[in-house]
Structure 1
Amino acid sequence: MVQTPHEQCDLGPKLNGAPNSGCSKDCKYVPVCGDGKQEGTEECDLGSRNGEPGSGCSKECKKVPCCGDGKVEWPEECDLGSLNGQPNSGCTKECKKAPVCGNGHIDPGEECDAGPRNGAYNSGCSKNCTICGYCGDGVLDTPEEECDLGWQLNGAPGSKCSANCTKVGIPCPPTCGNGVVDPGEQCDYGSSNGTAGYKCTTNCTWVQHPVCGNGITENPEECDDGELNGTPSSKCTKTCTLKEPCYPPKPAVCGNGIVEHPEECDDGYLNGTPNSNCTKTCTKVHPCTSSCPKPQCGDGRIDYPLGEECDDGAANNGKEYSSCTADCKRKTKPSPCATCNPNPFFNKCTITTSCISTPFGTDKNYCACRAGYRASGLSATDPRQFRLPGFVGQEYRVFVAPGVDCDQLCDNPHPGPDSCREVPVRADCV
């Protein structure tokens, strides 16, 4: 019996003070965990839902982490709310981190991840991030491939399978214009062949004359700003001639390394030296006649037809500081020109380089440094790094063996004829 005003409740001697009775031994109201009302020291009270998974409230009316509320609370690893457990959300229904196939990172449990290229032919990775077929894996994937002997044999001399996994020796329709440099072609930019700004003709051969619109000022062009030609922000017309200036034009400076009209060439401080094909007056050195001295070891030029591997000049060849012997041979025998596999999972190029194709054959794929950089920790003449002669547009790019980093700036890292000149050219790599 409740005797007011001294008692607030009275359930008898057996229930007073019992757990969750609502009445203490001294007949005072106490919170009841589970009645759906948050009272006293209770942190929460959801009634019959207390203790259920995901309710956020324990049977003792204490707050607990709620997986699915969008808040990351210990011991949860993640919480995306309604996205938990969805495919590729990265978070399970139990708020544990899960791999995300398609983010470009190989997460635990994934064999590969090529990002948006997952599932595309020759990406090497399926849509569920498992390694799948590609040209060069030695497995015939039809109908895309005609053959596949593996990346080491595809395109090798005498191989019956090309680097593109097509059979060799079988008559094929013309392929010039497919964007792939096939045997017999010098270049191939696909539908762009023969258009302004590209050095490749519709016959897949390199353009020998100036190309207006490629961003390179080639004699007799007066200027070339590429796609900006003819726009208000460019000083150059669409025909690569200078717009009529409203002030006296700046005269060309012979020796600054920039070919300015009417100069024929400009190799900077090298003008007029044996290492340049440009005179001190910025005119091209014309081919020698019978009266000119014959090529010889010590003239400062590398005469490959004579078997020369280097030539630092008669005054330097054979000296201790020179990498060239007195008979124009390298003191250190050049290592083989190590190629790379174009497949992104197997080319072994470091993150500071990229495996690119060159116009010297389907097997001439090399790890290319960034423009203006050369191999880290190696001398400039180390045979593991080199430049390639005749690679139009990439004459000053430095190439290295797979596994070599390129984080060292060249002596002259700026674009131009003098960039990375300290790295020797290797004609045996083309």
Structure 2
Amino acid sequence: MNTSELFLIAMTIIFGLPYLVWRLGRTEYWAPLVVVQIVGGILLGPGVLGAAVPAYYQFVFTPTVIQSLNGLAWWAVMLFVFIAGIELDLRAAWQHRRESGITAGLALGMPLLLGSGAALVLLNQAGWMGAQAQPWQFVLGIGMACAVTALPILILFMEKLAILRQPLGQRILRYASLDDIAIWGVLALILMDWQRVGRQAAFLGIFVLCAWAMRRLMQAVPERDRWYLALVWLALSGFVADWAGLHFMVGAFLAGAVLDAHWFDQDKMDLLRHHVLLVLMPVFFLSTGLRTHWDSGGVAVFGAAALLLVAQLIGKLAGLRLAGRVLGWPPGEASLIGWLLQTKALIMIIFANILLDKQVITAETFTALLLMAVASTMLTVPVVTPMLARTAAPR
């Protein structure tokens, strides 16, 4: 078969298999389609499908096919992160800055601390830290992976639970938005390349000037032109950030964060996010699954995933309970918010992909983080649903 035929076989598997499992297995309650697609990516990778039927795996997923899939995956995840940046609502966070600052700080700080402790445990064993990493980069990277909240998936879950537009849902969005900014700031610190610090300083200076000019331009043109200009701005920002030695994902997030959401029709933006998730992101999940490895042994990888899962769960719940005590929340509300904010999925997977690209972590560590992200996301709805039934009406 030629490359185009193999590519289309791979695309059929990517979209068909997870959908059949989701629909026929009726997994929506504990594993929405996006989670099934992530798990499907892992199962289709070299660690499972490649080990079970290596001949078929090598026949379909040739280097050329994988390269083509990676190109689609890069653009998909850039769009996704870009939209997340646009939808940040910092004005609301500023209006409620004391509550938002205390909650977001503890929600990020406690799992970061415990996750960093788990990273120190892994650091004492060979095979977990990447070849290009300093110990502090590895520890901070793993700690931040444990602290991440997947804002886009959180929105999907709160829509499913019918609390997104309620006051409680809007508060949770504020906390997650502030943590989103911190996550990308810490990532930029981890990726700081002192041999190319001049380029990175130049990037920041040029970006500030270009962002100012872009904002002026976006306000001067009609909305239909803003969508096209936004895509050009996204591609250029990603390119310059990657050239500076950061990562194109950092550029994609910054490109979205400097634009105002009200410049775009909200219904169209919601549709764009939905269509990116539907049409492109499954390719990213498969591309992610192709990077999973179990060379350290399945038991060790699952053990590391369990350690990280426990660290992030305890950290997130402890941080929110402390915030609830300081701010005087009603009984049960802190745990409810903590379980929602521990949702990992997409953003943590993107974060871990970047760490793997930059060789801060190994493929085995990446696999453990991926398993932790899947487990934390699958726990959310089954745990939160009965909690909502017991909790008093949100403020």
* TM-score normalised by structure 1 residue count: 0.20
Larger radius of gyration: 1
Larger % of helix: which? Answer: 2
Q: Which has the higher strand share?
A: 1
Q: TM-score, normalised by structure 2?
A: 0.21
